[in-house]
Structure 1
Amino acid sequence: MGRGRKIYCIRHCEREDNENPFWYFNSRLTKDNSPLSERGIKQAQEIARSMGPVRIDYAFSSPYRRTVETASRILSKHMTKLFIEPGLLETESIILGDGVKSCTFETIEDLCKSYPSLIDPMYGPRFESVNHGEIGLFGCKPRVQKTIEHILNLCPSGNILIVAHQSSLATIHNILCPEDRQLKPGQATITKYKERYPYKGQFDCIYECDSSHLTDRSALHGHHYHINQIYTKPTLRRIAAASRVELWIGIDGEITGIPSSAASARMRRRCHRNFHRQATASL
């Protein structure tokens, strides 16, 4: 399976309540358990196309409908079963905003009825729900830390897919790359990590919040990057060479930016400044 594990972290695609705040009036799902919107379904299909060449050995998702729907489309052409892990849920205080009184999601049994060939009912999750008292973007860190340790223990090699939420994915980035900048991943974006071989459990971020697979990159509600929209590949390569930095290469072969794993945090900041200063001058 190659040297070093790879983790693909994807934030769920656009949720129905981004378009229709009263969607739950005519739904059996609870207010906090929004499914994907029509646009979100299209975004998930675009992710699935871009992830098609990538072998997925393990797949994990939070139990919310929007993450399961996103994962189901990504895995539509893969034989990989989906593990439902409540440890990947958002921070409790974020879930309980806007009048939501409790974190309510479908049981494994109900999800298996909706996705009979997708979900593995035998998977033993690390957590059954969120921890009470979680506050802020990184309020879920103790829970997510144990969840990531659980996932890495279960997956000794290969490629791991994680479909989750902004706060849990921001926390995963903080855990795997503690010296890196804070991320708030946009909807339908992909962040890739690669294990430093032979250093088991140490990861570098190859690219973050990649949106190059999306035809519509507006209103993604978070960070997303696609430098190809602005600069041509030859220009990007010339600027990168002058700045002495490498380039992110997206899963579809597109250049998407500068890797956050470049040298130290100070060197990364210098690389970003040099890159954008020279890029602006080249326009």
Structure 2
Amino acid sequence: MKTPSRVLWFVRHGERIDNVDDTWKMTAKRWDDPPLSNRGQQQAREVGIALMADIIDYAICSPFTRCIETATEILSQRKIQLPLWIEPGFGESLNACMVPPGRPSMSQIKKLSEFVDDSYVPVYENLPPEYGGDEGCIPRVAHTLQTILSRYPTGNILFVSHGSPIAACHMTLCRTWYYVGQCTIGKIVMHGNGYKCEYFGDSRHLSDKTNLREIQRDRKSRGKVEE
């Protein structure tokens, strides 16, 4: 019997407050956990509107505030409430974090979003050491993604994460590192054991496509990506 296709959606968080306010980190208790800026909130709403008619069965999110706020805006656009699962394995690359990472606790996370379902059992509670800069997150993200796809073998999944982990997801499924802009959308279709990237880093839904901080790659965020 043929395994039906499923869709994996990948969204990077929206614009961070420290992208537009250089002084924010000077007084922040957790300098690696900035919330979204006003523009970031709007970007996330626009993602939600773009995806509101698409079938999504699971929503899985990094535990950092900017990702939770992004996911919450996306899910709030849907007619049927979808639980939000928090997965530390999709957290920021550790080279960009405090030691230990300054992500909020689960009790703090639940105050950030009404959608959070803390019955989900994460792949990682504590993250292993990482080496090699942004790409150091690849082994951890690959293990997280592969475990989730095995644990939930059917259904469409929305992943909300950060630039480097999303690039690592593309590396895991499509064999190339692909760093995307803020609140862009990626769509990878899985059929059996194969994957086809229909598009990645797509910004067509955004009203303002300027300065999406795709700092690690030259190619434009919009359009189809070939495997």
* Structure 1: distance between partners of 2:172 and 2:63: 22
Query: What does residue 34 of structure 2 align with?
Result: 34
Query: What does residue 184 of structure 2 align with?
Result: 189
Alignment of 1:29-178 (within 5 A): 30-76=30-76, 77=78, 78-95=80-97, 100-115=98-113, 117-178=114-175
Q: Is the 8 A contact 1:91 1:134 kept in 2?
A: no
Residue identity in the other structure for 1:225: S
C-alpha change, 1:59 and 1:108, in structure 2 (3 Å) is same
* Structure 1: distance between partners of 2:159 and 2:173: 14
Q: Is the 8 A contact 1:88 1:168 kept in 2?
A: yes
Query: What does residue 196 of structure 2 align with?
Result: 204
* Structure 2: distance between partners of 1:156 and 1:101: 34
Alpha-carbon displacement from aligned partner over 1:232-271 (angstroms, at most 9, x marks no partner): xxxxxxxxxxxxxxxxxxxxxxxxx34413xxxxxxxxxx
| 1:18 Cα deviation after fit | 0.1
* Structure 2: distance between partners of 1:157 and 1:194: 12
* Structure 1: distance between partners of 2:54 and 2:144: 24
| 1:159 Cα deviation after fit | 1.0
* CA RMSD of superposed structures (Å): 1.8
SS in 2 for 1:137: helix
C-alpha change, 1:258 and 1:132, in structure 2 (3 Å) is closer
Q: Is the 8 A contact 2:63 2:86 kept in 1?
A: yes
* Structure 2: distance between partners of 1:137 and 1:205: 22
Larger Rg: 1
Residue identity in the other structure for 1:120: D
Matched, 1:19 2:20: yes
Q: Structure 1 unaligned runs (5+)?
A: 227-256, 262-283
Q: Is the 8 A contact 2:16 2:34 kept in 1?
A: yes
Alignment of 1:252-271 (within 5 A): 257-261=223-227
Higher relative contact order structure (alpha carbons within 8 Å, sequence separation ≥ 6): 2
Moved more, 32-41 or 2-11: 2-11
| 1:168 Cα deviation after fit | 0.4
Give the TM-score, by structure 1 length.
Answer: 0.73
* Structure 2: distance between partners of 1:213 and 1:129: 35
Residue identity in the other structure for 1:153: S
Moved more, 169-178 or 102-111: 102-111
Q: Structure 2 unaligned runs (5+)?
A: none
Q: Is the 8 A contact 2:32 2:96 kept in 1?
A: no
Alpha-carbon displacement from aligned partner over 1:188-219 (angstroms, at most 9, x marks no partner): 111110012xx23x211110110000111111
Q: Percent identity?
A: 35
- Number of residue pairs matched? 219
Query: What does residue 269 of structure 1 align with?
Result: none
| 1:160 Cα deviation after fit | 0.3
Q: Is the 8 A contact 1:89 1:130 kept in 2?
A: no
Query: What does residue 247 of structure 1 align with?
Result: none
Query: What does residue 218 of structure 1 align with?
Result: 210
Q: Is the 8 A contact 1:92 1:131 kept in 2?
A: no
Q: Is the 8 A contact 2:9 2:157 kept in 1?
A: yes
